[in-house]
Structures are given as C-alpha cells and as structure tokens.
Amino acid sequence: MPARLLAPLALSQGDPAGIGPDLALMAWLARDRAGLAPFVYIGAADVLRHRASQLGLSVPIVETDIDAASGLFSESLPVLSTGTMPHVVASKPDSASAAQTIRAIELAVSLTMAGKTSATVTNPIAKSVLYAAGFGFPGHTEFLADLASQATGTSVMPVMMIAGPELRTVPVTIHIPLRDVPEALTEQLVYDTCRITAMDLKSRFGIANPRLAVSGLNPHAGENGTLGSEDDAIVAPAIGRLRAEGIDAFGPLPADTMFHKAARETYDVAICMYHDQALIPAKALGFDDGVNVTLGLPFIRTSPDHGTAFSLAGTGKARPSSLIAALRMAADMAANGAT
Ligand SMILES: NC(=O)C1=CN([C@@H]2O[C@H](COP(=O)(O)OP(=O)(O)OC[C@H]3O[C@@H](n4cnc5c(N)ncnc54)[C@H](O)[C@@H]3O)[C@@H](O)[C@H]2O)C=CC1
Ligand SMILES: NCC(=O)COP(=O)(O)O
C-alpha cells in the first residue's frame, strides 16, 4: 500500500451479470502479487458470494462499514452493501438490476467526494441495459460529471482518456452515433477537451509540458479541404487558440498515420474526433492493461478499458489485468496527491 494512501479505493460492482464481480474476486486474490492498495467493493454481497462459489474461488467476503474496510482488506474482501439484489444470473443481463448498478456508482462517488475513499474505480456497465431502465446518461463518464456538478454546484465537463503503457487517447465526441459526429464537433469542444486534457496530464500524471497530437476528422485531415471542411474550419482554429495559450498542441493530423511507433514518440496523448478513432488504436495496442480514466472531475475515477463481456461471466475466463491496472493507476494518482 502506498504510504500516503489512507482511505481505500471504492470499486463499484458494475453490471452484476457481467464480469465485474469475477474481476473483483480475482483482483483481491492477486492483491499481494499485484501490489494492490486496499479496495472496498460496493455492490451486492450475495451476488459476489454466489459468483465466488460458481468460480470455485476461496474469497472471504465481509460486509462492513467504510471506516473498517482498509483494515479488513488483507484477510478478506470488504463489501459495502447496496442492499438485496434481484436474482442475478451470470451472463444474463437484466434491467431489473439497473437501480442497484446505478446506486453502487452513486455511493462510490459520494464516498470519494467525501474523502472516505481515495478514488472511484468502476466495473463495466452495459449501457443498453441501463438505458432500458431509463438511465439518462450515455455512460459513466457523463453520469459522474453530473454527480460532481450536483455536489459542487459548478458545471463539470468530463473528458474520457484511455491510457495504456504505449498510448493515451482522448475521444472528443464519445457515445453518439457516427452520423452525428460532424454536427457535435465544434471548435469550442475541441478546445475545451484539449485544455482539460493538458491540465490533468500536468496535475494528475506529472507531465510538465504535455504534447497533444490532434487528429483530423476526415481522411488525410481533409486534404486541404477537398475531403471535408471540418479539419480546417473547426480543428485547426482550436489548435491555434491552444498554441496561443502555450499548450503544445499540434495538428490536425491524418489519423491513419499518427499511431505507428515513431509517431507515438512525438506526443503524450492523441486527441481524436470520435470514439472509434481513439479507442481502436488504444485497445489494439493495450487491451489487457488499458485504463479508462475520466479527466476534468473533482475526484479520481478509473475503470478497465473493456466492457461487461457477458459471455465470460462466471466462466473463469475473464482476465483481471485491466481492472488491476485501473486499481493501480487510481492508487498511484491518489498517493501522488491528485484529486
Ligand atoms: N466502462 C464501461 O462501463 C464499458 C462498458 N461497455 C459495455 O460492455 C458491453 C459489452 O461491450 P462489448 O463491445 O462486447 O465489449 P467487451 O469489452 O465487453 O468485449 C469485447 C471482447 O473482449 C472480450 N473481453 C472483454 N473483457 C475481457 C477480459 N477482462 N478478459 C478476457 N476477455 C475480455 C470479450 O469476451 C469480447 O470478446 C456493452 O453493453 C457496452 O456498453 C463497454 C466498454 C466499457
Ligand atoms: N467505450 C468506452 C466506454 O464505453 C466507457 O464508457 P464510460 O462508461 O466509462 O463512460
């Protein structure tokens, strides 16, 4: 456990029919080998016990209050219970569990904002399952920002960053249909996303002068306007404003040639215009140890880079490496004094 980290990490259960419970159990079993800081699982203890038994994993699961959680961690997996869950079957998603899934995220965030936990680490949710139950946010990222805005009374703009050992990427637009991207992309959005990224790479990742490589939207970054106008009309002016403020942003770059090894050495983060432009290279290069971190929040939030992988839940085939990387990154950020 890093010396300065006093409060445990909050780990939300995610979709209980997905691999979140499996990964939490596996991460706890790997705690010493992986050098993990104490974490408290926030969710349904009965689902976790059932999954442990299904997987044949010997994990003592202890329901606790938050103050006792860190002290229990070496001998048992502490659980802060969100109450009794409707019946859950591994790999069978059911929107009846949505309220509990959301409650676990809310509880993790409120504990983290109160300083009772040092960071929030989220297990994956299935967006469509929550949408079916009326969840009004595209994903965690926007939900967390809303919770933070409500708690602080100030507007919070979240930025998604996928961070792996070889590459960090940020999508400027996130979970919207591809056909809506050009409409959603504005100079202000590109500018704000880059500014928040630069600020957080400094304050949370210790990069003194972050280099931001900004992609274009169109093939060949628009080929001088002949393959689309957005690169010259939206992306380039945003980069001009950033540079005028001393932020080392450059582009717009053709997205197809900015991810090879030599290109990656020229920047600290790639700012991309839409979800797949950012997440395909990030997951191709680092699926097993990539971390999804939300920048711009007044607290630390990380997550594995993958989803609920329903078909693997309860089989023992899910790999916990990305969750372990997310737990480690959150603990490092907290120990380094980032909030
Ligand atoms: N942070 C979050 O809450 C995220 C949630 N999702 C949600 O997850 C659901 C499923 O999404 P998919 O696109 O199928 O992505 P997915 O990441 O769940 O699965 C993609 C592929 O990777 C495999 N995989 C994923 N995690 C793995 C692990 N830990 N070990 C071994 N193999 C693993 C799966 O078996 C599948 O073949 C969707 O509903 C989506 O909304 C997706 C990404 C992130
Ligand atoms: N594709 C990334 C993803 O779905 C994660 O979204 P979020 O739930 O962290 O907002």
pLDDT in tens, 94-128: 999 999 999 999 999 999 999 999 999 999 999 99
Examine the domain organization and report whether 5 and 114 are in the same domain.
yes
Percentage of the chain beyond pLDDT 70 is: 98
- Quote the tokens at residue 307: 């989803």
* Confidence band of 3 (pLDDT split at 50, 70, 90): very low
**In the predicted model, is pLDDT for residue 136 greater than 70?**
yes
| Mean pLDDT of all residues belonging to the chain | 96
**In the predicted model, is pLDDT for residue 336 greater than 90?**
no
Examine the domain organization and report whether 135 and 184 are in the same domain.
no
Of 3, 65, 54, give the one whose Cα is nearest residue 26.
54
Examine the domain organization and report whether 152 and 292 are in the same domain.
no
In this predicted structure, what is the pLDDT of residue 161?
98
Task: State the distance from the centre of ligand 2 to the C-alpha of 139, rounded, in angstroms.
Answer: 6
pLDDT, average across residues 56-70: 97
- 89: which DSSP letter? B
In this predicted structure, what is the pLDDT of residue 148?
98
Examine the domain organization and report whether 229 and 309 are in the same domain.
no
**In the predicted model, is pLDDT for residue 4 greater than 70?**
no
In this predicted structure, what is the pLDDT of residue 1?
44
In this predicted structure, what is the pLDDT of residue 339?
65
Report the complex ipTM.
0.98
Examine the domain organization and report whether 193 and 231 are in the same domain.
yes
- Quote the tokens at residue 324: 């372990």
pLDDT in tens, 219-242: 999 999 999 999 999 999 999 999
Residue written as token pair 């490589």: 213
Q: Is the dihedral of CA 18, 24, 25, 26 positive or negative?
A: positive
CB atoms within 10 A of CB 175: 13
Pairing relationship of beta strands 301-304 and 291-295 according to DSSP bridges: antiparallel
| Ligand 1 atom with the shortest distance to the CA of 318 | 30
Examine the domain organization and report whether 4 and 138 are in the same domain.
yes
Examine the domain organization and report whether 132 and 263 are in the same domain.
no
Mutation test of ligand 1: which of 306, 317, 319, 327 has the most ligand atoms closer than 8 Å to its C-beta? Answer: 306
Examine the domain organization and report whether 53 and 127 are in the same domain.
yes
**141 a known binding residue?**
yes
pLDDT in tens, 139-194: 999 999 999 999 999 999 999 999 999 999 999 999 999 999 999 999 999 999 99
In this predicted structure, what is the pLDDT of residue 6?
74
SS3 (DSSP) at 193: helix
The response to whether residue 12 sits with its C-beta less than 6 Å from ligand 1 reads no
Cβ-contact 173, 184 below 8 angstroms: yes
Mutation test of ligand 2: which of 120, 173, 292 has the most ligand atoms closer than 8 Å to its C-beta? Answer: 292
Helices and strands in the chain: count of H runs, count of E runs:
13, 12
For 231, residues 6+ apart whose C-beta sits below 8 A from its C-beta are 216, 217, 218, 221, 222, 225, 252
Report how far apart the first and last C-alpha atoms of the chain are (Å, whole number). Answer: 18
To the nearest 10 degrees (0 to 180), the angle between helices 187-203 and 236-244 is: 40
Examine the domain organization and report whether 181 and 241 are in the same domain.
yes
Q: Please give all residues whose beta carbon lies within 6 A of any atom in ligand 2, as ranges.
A: 125, 139-141, 279, 292, 303
**In the predicted model, is pLDDT for residue 86 greater than 90?**
no
Distances (CA, A) of 284 to 21, 126, 157, 223, 274: 25, 21, 27, 26, 16
- Quote the tokens at residue 208: 């003194």
Distances (CA, A) of 45 to 50, 167, 333: 9, 36, 28
Overall number of domains in the chain? 2
Q: Which residues of 251-288 are buried (b: 16+ CB within 10 A; e: fewer)?
A: bbbbbeebbeeeebeebbbbbbbbbebbbebbbebbee
- 233: which DSSP letter? I
**In the predicted model, is pLDDT for residue 5 greater than 60?**
no
The response to whether residue 144 sits with its C-beta less than 6 Å from ligand 1 reads no
Whose CA is closest to atom 19 on ligand 1? Answer: 309
The response to whether residue 309 sits with its C-beta less than 6 Å from ligand 1 reads yes
User: For position 81, which CATH number holds?
Assistant: 3.40.718.10
Examine the domain organization and report whether 170 and 114 are in the same domain.
no
Examine the domain organization and report whether 228 and 329 are in the same domain.
no
**283 a known binding residue?**
yes
Domain that holds residue 145: 1-158+298-339
**175 a known binding residue?**
yes
- Quote the tokens at residue 313: 């839940």
Task: State the distance from the centre of ligand 2 to the C-alpha of 303, rounded, in angstroms.
Answer: 9
**202 a known binding residue?**
no
Q: What is the separation of C-alpha 78 from the centre of its chain, rounded to a whole number of angstroms?
A: 22
| Ligand 2 atom with the shortest distance to the CA of 279 | 1
Of 324, 279, 282, give the one whose Cα is nearest residue 22.
324
pLDDT in tens, 239-297: 999 999 999 999 999 999 999 999 999 999 999 999 999 999 999 999 999 999 999 99
Examine the domain organization and report whether 124 and 97 are in the same domain.
yes
* Confidence band of 338 (pLDDT split at 50, 70, 90): low
Cβ-contact 126, 18 below 8 angstroms: yes
CB atoms within 10 A of CB 28: 25
- Quote the tokens at residue 279: 């997440």
